[in-house]
């Protein structure tokens, strides 16, 4: 039996932990995190790192918030667990709060992860159509580059071949269409014109497939992990109109964008007049303090699940979904976001500070800097004219050098045919001005030293 060798230096120690998304590298030194405060965490050796991707876009209010810890502990003492086949107060309060924040009446089903929130949305969408006389509407459309989760349905909606090929066949009925990615669009015109052509393609797909077969479109308002794609808001409005026209539900994946990251409480709120049929959320809902996800469904859609005396209820359950402590944490987290005016803060500091990263556009290897609030993508290229992606080796070097200097930033996964060349920066929304300066200086100096 393999033993963890406690005599070895921690960094070299072999453990039994299976890390997510890591290529096996016997020489890699393990960094083991032990504590966090604000935007910073420390490893076992006492090194401090600024968490420039907020864990995985989770930590909206930063590490070490005592009031969140207290809220969880108090709830644990009061009612440690209760299933949502029945009711408990924190879940009701949080569902009501979510409805208020979304700006219309929504009914919320709680689960544990973004993937599960999306799975729930898919089942609700299919059942909704079945119960409203359209049982043939079963297909889902998502965009290339999108990441919607790791479970079979969410993986099938994830339109990145590298995340699927080893696990295929993925679920039937999931279709993929081009994203509004003006930097690499095949069309000509202004960015907005290019984005609108992507919406046209989506409409064409519905027409070719037959509107009577399409259940829903699932989209993030801003593709995050797939490379920080920031479309014209007219694109989102147009997709919402197309969905309405063909009686296709619009599922908005706010797992990353939700709870302030983009300078609005939800990303879709940037697109005036858009009110999605279903909104999925996780990560920022609790700032990662406890696992919790939500699938919020517009009241009009929920109506179809209420018919008296019929077997119209949702046959779907999640044992831990809406755990009382997680809901209490969600409520406290939202209270902090509101009381500390975090959404405005993201707008202001995004505009006055992080915007400085746009200066990097002058560098030969920076093709485009894309930003909305505290979500930034730097599209790195070997050549600005051909737009050839910067090599994996160089991308790894940039991320590695930032880490050496105490800054964790991300890059998109192996998603782009030909490269994964987009640096991702998404710090906690509570980052101080000094934290943001540190990010700007570190990223700038590393890129300029390449
Ligand atoms: N949707 C989006 C947009 C995500 O970024 C993620 C996670 N990176 C998910 C869904 C899945 O969330 P989880 O890992 O909690 O299942």
296 with 375, same domain: the answer is no
Q: Classify residue 90: in a domain, yes or no.
A: yes
Q: Identify the domain containing residue 326 by its residue range.
A: 66-339
Q: Classify residue 268: in a domain, yes or no.
A: yes
92 with 183, same domain: the answer is yes
In this structure, what CATH number is given to the domain that contains residue 139? 3.40.640.10
Q: According to the model, what pLDDT value does residue 31 have?
A: 84
Q: According to the model, what pLDDT value does residue 182 have?
A: 96
H or E stretch covering 293: strand 293-298
Q: According to the model, what pLDDT value does residue 130 have?
A: 96
267 with 363, same domain: the answer is no
Contact (Cβ atoms closer than 8 angstroms) between residue 254 and residue 267: yes
Q: Classify residue 2: in a domain, yes or no.
A: no
316 with 383, same domain: the answer is no
**Ligand 1 atom nearest 115 alpha carbon:** 16
Ligand 1: residues within 6 Å at CB?
56, 113-115, 118, 147-150, 220, 224-225, 253, 255-256, 282
311 with 358, same domain: the answer is no
In this structure, what CATH number is given to the domain that contains residue 426? 3.90.1150.10
Pocket test for ligand 1, best of 256, 285, 326 (most atoms within 8 A of CB): 256
Q: Can you read off the two tokens belonging to residue 333?
A: 């987290």
Contact (Cβ atoms closer than 8 angstroms) between residue 291 and residue 326: yes
Rounded CA-CA distance 306/312 in Å is 7
416 with 358, same domain: the answer is yes
Nearest CA to ligand 1 atom 14: 114
Name the domain count of the chain: 2
Domain end point (choices 292, 315, 339):
339
What would the pLDDT profile of 19-50 be if each residue is shown by its tens digit? 887 776 665 667 889 999 999 999 988 999 99
Domain end point (choices 309, 339, 369):
339
152 with 272, same domain: the answer is yes
Q: Classify residue 31: in a domain, yes or no.
A: yes
Q: Classify residue 3: in a domain, yes or no.
A: no
15 with 104, same domain: the answer is no
Q: Classify residue 1: in a domain, yes or no.
A: no
Q: According to the model, what pLDDT value does residue 12 have?
A: 53
What would the pLDDT profile of 392-448 be if each residue is shown by its tens digit? 899 999 999 999 999 999 998 666 666 689 999 999 999 999 999 999 999 999 999
290 with 165, same domain: the answer is yes
359 C-alpha to ligand 1 centroid (Å): 30
Q: Can you read off the two tokens belonging to residue 433?
A: 């001005």
In the chain, which residues have pLDDT < 50? 1-2, 4, 6, 9
257 with 171, same domain: the answer is yes
Q: According to the model, what pLDDT value does residue 175 have?
A: 98
Q: Classify residue 198: in a domain, yes or no.
A: yes
Q: Classify residue 4: in a domain, yes or no.
A: no
Q: Which residues pair with 51 in a beta bridge?
A: 408
pTM: 0.96
Contact (Cβ atoms closer than 8 angstroms) between residue 350 and residue 263: yes
Domain end point (choices 293, 319, 339):
339
Nearest CA to 280 among 19, 98, 413? 98
371 with 443, same domain: the answer is yes
Q: Would the CA dihedral through 3, 8, 14, 20 be positive or negative?
A: positive
Q: According to the model, what pLDDT value does residue 26 have?
A: 62
Q: According to the model, what pLDDT value does residue 328 have?
A: 98
User: Which ipTM value was assigned to this complex?
Assistant: 0.99
Q: Which residues pair with 376 in a beta bridge?
A: 371, 425
267 with 362, same domain: the answer is no
- CA torsion angle 314 317 318 321 (round to 10): 50
Length of the chain, in residues? 450
Beta-carbon neighbour count of residue 50 at 10 Å? Answer: 23
Long-range CB pairs of 23-31, under 8 A, 24+ apart, other chains included = none
Q: According to the model, what pLDDT value does residue 4 have?
A: 45
> What is the secondary structure of 319-338 as a DSSP string?
SSTT-HHHHHHHHHHHHHHH
């Amino acid at each position: 039996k393999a033993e963890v060798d406690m005599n070895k230096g921690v960094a070299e120690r072999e453990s039994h932990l299976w890390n997510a998304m890591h290529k096996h590298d016997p020489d890699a030194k393990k960094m083991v995190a032990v504590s966090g405060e604000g935007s910073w965490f420390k490893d076992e050796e006492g090194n401090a790192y600024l968490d420039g991707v907020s864990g995985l876009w989770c930590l909206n209010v930063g590490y070490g918030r005592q009031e969140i810890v207290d809220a969880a502990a108090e709830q644990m003492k009061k009612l440690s667990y209760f299933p949502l086949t029945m009711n408990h107060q924190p879940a009701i309060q949080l569902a009501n709060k979510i409805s208020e924040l979304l700006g219309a009446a929504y009914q919320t089903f709680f689960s544990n992860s973004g993937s599960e929130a999306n799975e729930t949305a898919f089942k609700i969408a299919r059942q909704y159509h079945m119960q409203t006389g359209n049982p043939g509407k079963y297909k889902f459309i998502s965009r290339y580059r999108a990441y919607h989760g790791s479970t079979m349905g969410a993986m099938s909606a994830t339109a990145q071949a590298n995340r699927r090929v080893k696990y295929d066949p993925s679920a039937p009925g999931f279709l993929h269409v081009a994203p509004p990615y003006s930097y690499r669009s095949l069309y000509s015109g202004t960015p907005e014109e290019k984005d609108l052509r992507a919406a046209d393609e989506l409409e064409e797909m519905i027409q070719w497939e037959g509107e009577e077969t399409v259940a829903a479109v699932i989209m993030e308002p801003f593709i995050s992990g797939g490379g920080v794609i920031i479309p014209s808001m007219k694109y989102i409005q147009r997709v919402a109109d197309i969905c309405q026209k063909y009686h296709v539900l619009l599922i908005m994946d706010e797992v990353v964008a939700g709870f302030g990251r983009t300078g609005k409480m939800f990303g879709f709120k940037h697109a005036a007049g858009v009110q999605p049929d279903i909104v999925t959320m996780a990560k920022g809902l609790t700032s990662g303090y406890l696992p919790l996800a939500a699938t919020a469904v517009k009241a009009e859609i929920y109506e179809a699940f209420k018919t008296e005396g019929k077997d119209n209820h949702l046959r779907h359950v999640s044992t831990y979904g809406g755990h009382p402590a997680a809901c209490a944490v969600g409520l406290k987290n939202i209270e902090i976001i509101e009381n500390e005016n975090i959404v405005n803060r993201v707008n202001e500091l995004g505009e006055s500070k992080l915007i400085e990263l746009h200066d990097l556009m002058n560098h030969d290897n920076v093709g485009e800097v894309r930003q909305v609030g505290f979500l930034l993508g730097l599209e790195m290229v070997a050549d600005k004219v051909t737009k050839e992606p910067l090599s994996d080796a160089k991308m790894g070097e940039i991320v590695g050098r930032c880490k050496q200097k105490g800054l964790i930033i991300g890059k998109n996964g192996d998603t782009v045919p030909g490269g994964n060349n987009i640096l991702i920066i998404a710090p906690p929304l509570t980052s101080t001005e000094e934290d943001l300066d540190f990010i700007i200086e570190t990223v700038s100096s590393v890129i300029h030293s390449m």
